[in-house]
Amino acid sequence: MKRYEDLSPSLRCIMTPGPVEVDPRVLRAMSFPVLGQFDPEFTGIMNETMEMLRELFATGNQWAYPVDGTSRSGIEAVMVSLIAPGDRVLIPIFGRFGHLLHEIAERCGAEVQVIEKTWGSVFDADEVIAAMDSFKPQVVAIVHGETSTGRVQPLAEIGRACRERDALLIVDAVATIGGVPVETDAWMLDAVIGGTQKCLSVPSGMAPVTYNARAEAKLLARKQVERGLRTGSEREGGLPPVRSNYLDLSMLQDYWSPLRLNHHTEMTSMLYALREGLRLTLEEGLAPRFARHKLHEQALLAGLAAMGLELYGDPASKLTVVTCVLIPEGVDGEAVRSMLLERFGIEIASSFGPLKGLIWRIGTMGFSCRENNVLRLLGALEAVLLRHGHILPAGQGVQAALDVYEAQGG
């Protein structure tokens, strides 16, 4: 029999748009012994997590809980539960993850209309509203922070327009939650999906979602209690049942409610991690946390500029937590990334589709978003670029970042 070695992963400085480094306190939380899923102590932890998620999403919604899967499972859960087959769904696309929303909506059996914006920019609210007025969607689904292009889409006006036109607005805030403001109630977002492995700095594995009473009404119209647990006919509404069992929010909310109607077996250790990540986030405070993300972005930008590197995309819509850097002419982007990882233990990201080979993507998210990481990265990137024969003003990048920190008293 083959003997497998002890697990012993290397320590990395992870400056990608996720997954990012995890606070040791969150890692420690996962090493606690597990509780049973219906142990009152455990259901207490579930309730506390819901309370913390309401704060995170800036909402008074009753429903705020994690879907048990990666971020994408949360997106699909919201879409498959809120989009009935045949529904008209409008999807404004300004990067790769907009295409994912299109893909999922299509698999839900929706009649999809997309509008596309050139990558590197975002929509004016008017463009989305005009499309709504012509297509008259029941659902609009849009990405808040596009990690593929490093852009952030303003949502307040779109939210109001959806409310006025009685469309449900679904927002993918996977990349933004915990790093930049996501105002669920103030912006009138009907359903929002957050990610764990980005600005919350919890390992990948859960997808916090929230949705309001308008969204819940649609869920209840599709609700069907599971075979094996039914006591009567148990169809409550007139719309067709959700096509998924695992991702059916009408069932998940019964599990997360005092009913505790058995569904899946809640992921104990991931929930411990999420609760600890949320505790640390709320202890830091959302506003100071957003300010921290802004500060380290500014230091990074100053450093990159001082090295003579240029950024990709429209500056007006830049997403604080992802910085897209144009790979300089003549430089092999993948060779630079490999050397950063292999010699310095620092990871930055490549890119998707039309941007492949053209940009690097640098994340400043959550626990990874801190001064020593920014300074290490700038120093290492300079050294690697010099090693690849790229000419730049040596020494300037780190100095410029230090200037930003010192100006802020950092």
Residues at the annotated binding site for substrate? 361
Q: Does 68 bind a copy of itself (CB under 8 A)?
A: yes
Question: What gap in Å lies between CA 135 and CA 131, rounded to an integer?
Answer: 6
Note whether 317 binds a copy of itself by CB under 8 A.
no
Q: Segment 214-233, which members bind a copy of itself (CB under 8 A)? A: 226-229
C-alpha 233/C-alpha 214 separation (Å) is: 25
For 4, counting Cβ atoms within 10 Å of its Cβ (0-12 exposed, 13-18 middle, 19+ buried), the class is exposed
- Residue 273 engages a copy of itself in binding (rule: CB under 8 A): yes
Q: Which is nearer to a copy of itself, 52 or 325 (CB)?
A: 52
Compare residues 103 and 332 and give the one whose CB is closer to a copy of itself.
103
d(CA 353, CA 356): 6
Rule CB under 8 A: which of 76-95 touch a copy of itself? Answer: 76, 80
Is there a contact between 153 and 146 (Cβ–Cβ < 8 Å)? yes
Q: Report yes or no: 348 and 16 within 8 Å, Cβ to Cβ.
A: yes
> Which CB sits closer to a copy of itself, 233 or 329?
233
Nearer Cβ to a copy of itself, position 51 or 310? 51
Q: How far is the CB of 44 from a copy of itself (least distance, A)?
A: 10
Q: Within 13 Å of residue 229, how many CA atoms lie on the same side as its CB? A: 13
Stretch that binds a copy of itself, among 29-37, 287-295, 304-312, 315-323 (CB under 8 A): 29-37
58 HSE (CA, 13 A, CB side): 16
CA dist list (Å): 99 to 69, 108, 115, 247: 20, 14, 11, 20
Among 166, 283, 329, 406, binds a copy of itself (CB under 8 A): 283
Q: Which residues inside 344-383 make contact with a copy of itself, applying CB under 8 A?
A: 347, 352-353
* Residue length of the chain: 410
Counting residues that bind a copy of itself (by CB under 8 A) gives: 92
Q: Does 255 bind a copy of itself (CB under 8 A)?
A: no
Binding mask 178-217 for a copy of itself (x = CB under 8 A): -------------------x-----xxx------------
**What amino acid occupies position 270?**
M
Tokens found for residue 51? 């309370």
